[in-house]
Structure 1
Amino acid sequence: MTTSPTRNATAPIAANDRTGLSASPRVRLSRRRISIDHPDPRAGERLLADALGAVDRDALDGLLKQLVKVSVIGQKPDEANLAFMISMMKSIGPRDSIEAMLAAQMVSVHVTAMRSACRLACTDDIAQQESVTRALARLARTFAAQIEALSRHRSNGERGITVQNLSVQDGGRAIVGNVTQHTNMMVSEPSAADAAMDAGLVSTREVGEHEQPDARRGAAA
């Protein structure tokens, strides 16, 4: 990989740039060569590696070559399309090698999906429309799954817990604690009543009323 002097550097177009980083250097494509358009070779590689989440030069070379292949338009790599893909990867902000590979796949699937959408808009053949529609639907589902995979990876596989408000009408009672519900019975954890009394949510009299039927059934047995 080589570097060349800067010609047309791309500056952030939004004043509130969320990344807070300098614009990534452009990548120039020529026959059998990929070059980073930056006056300082080391700085150019570092900026591009940070944008793609590459940990070393080998990872940077590999990711760039893969993105170049996907950027092809009309059987020829396209610099503008490649710059778009690099910009999208930078906005995703890969934090490790797994996220770098996943982000590269995400932008590749997106580019391919948009190509399929273009084909769908440009064809009047019913058979082609059905074929492209199926391909576009699969790509859309894949992209959604990739977003979910990235989210799980960043949260270390933890699942979110949703807490909803509890409303108890007059004459009703609430069970405090984890509840295991089966077809014919409902059993609360033994510590639930104690926890409720400690919290002042249930009186001793109410707990005794719940325990009396169990005691009578035990005596009858």
Structure 2
Amino acid sequence: MTTAPTLQATPPVAANDRSGSIANPRIRLYKKRIAIKHPDPQAGERLLAEALGAVDRDALHGILKQLAKASAIGHRPDEANLAFMISTIKRIAPSDSIESMLAAQMVCVHMAAMRSACRLACTDNLAQQESITRALTRLTRTFAAQIEALGRHRGNDERAITVRNLSVQDGGKAIVGHVTQHANVLVAEAGPSEARQEAGR
């Protein structure tokens, strides 16, 4: 006789889980409300707020409602999808409101991409395959751009600029070495010839 496995709250997957060993409180979705399942409601809200990077109660419930709508399967919010989305955002570890919103968008784009991939695998219609492939391509490119945006935000928009071709007019000077721009400040590392010139002055 085969019995269905009992579903339980998901424990941390690995011992090196940097986001903490406490599992997220589970969310119950009702017709007109969202309930946080935790023995201590305040502690449950606090744990979820930390996981989602929400700065206050309004931000927490606002983002939960948005994620619940995005978790829908057949127009009905899905608790398993919502749990996955919350767990993924927790691993991204948003530290402010911008990161919180961006992380939420990232998981929503990922969910949409996976739905598109499922539709692509389930259709033999050539026109539908082309349409779904275009949508999937846009979604995966958007996801990659979101990763870049998160990295730039966390690095305070520090981007290295490499100059490959350089032209110096008569009377001009060139820096021989590596030039990096961080937050609109130019930092130059002098090369060997430049360092010898500076030492001779």
Q: What are the superposed Cα offsets for residues 40-62 of structure 1, whole Å, 9 maximum, x if unpaired?
A: 01100000000000000000011
Local SS of the residue matching 2:27: strand
Aligned partner of 2:45 in structure 1 is: 45
Q: Does 1:57 align with 2:61?
A: no
Aligned partner of 1:167 in structure 2 is: none
Kept after mapping to 2: 8 A contact 1:180/1:187 = no
Kept after mapping to 1: 8 A contact 2:12/2:21 = no
Shift of 1:162: 6.6
Instruction: Mark the CA change 1:139 to 1:187 in structure 2 (over 3 Å): closer, same or farther.
Output: same
Local SS of the residue matching 1:153: helix
Kept after mapping to 2: 8 A contact 1:54/1:60 = yes
Please identify runs of 4+ aligned residues in structure 1 that moved more than 2 A.
7-10, 160-163, 184-195, 197-200
Structure 1 counterpart of 2:87, which letter?
S
Kept after mapping to 2: 8 A contact 1:120/1:133 = yes
Aligned partner of 1:72 in structure 2 is: 72
Shift of 1:75: 1.9
Unmatched 5+ residue regions in structure 2? 1-6, 177-189
Of residues 188, 193, 198, the one that matches 2:173 is 188
Larger radius of gyration: 1
Aligned partner of 1:84 in structure 2 is: 84
Instruction: Mark the CA change 1:186 to 1:130 in structure 2 (over 3 Å): closer, same or farther.
Output: farther
Q: Distance in 2 between matches of 1:71 and 1:34?
A: 13
Aligned partner of 2:95 in structure 1 is: 95
Aligned partner of 2:144 in structure 1 is: 144
Shift of 1:188: 3.2
Kept after mapping to 2: 8 A contact 1:180/1:186 = no
Count matched residues.
179
Structure 1 counterpart of 2:51, which letter?
A
Aligned partner of 1:174 in structure 2 is: none
Kept after mapping to 2: 8 A contact 1:180/1:188 = no
Q: What are the superposed Cα offsets for residues 56-103 of structure 1, whole Å, 9 maximum, x if unpaired?
A: 000001100000001001221110000000000000000100000000
Shift of 1:31: 1.6
Shift of 1:160: 2.8
Kept after mapping to 2: 8 A contact 1:53/1:97 = yes
- In the superposition, the TM-score normalised over structure 1's length comes to 0.73
Shift of 1:197: 4.0
Q: Distance in 2 between matches of 1:124 and 1:190?
A: 59
Unmatched 5+ residue regions in structure 1? 1-6, 164-178, 205-221
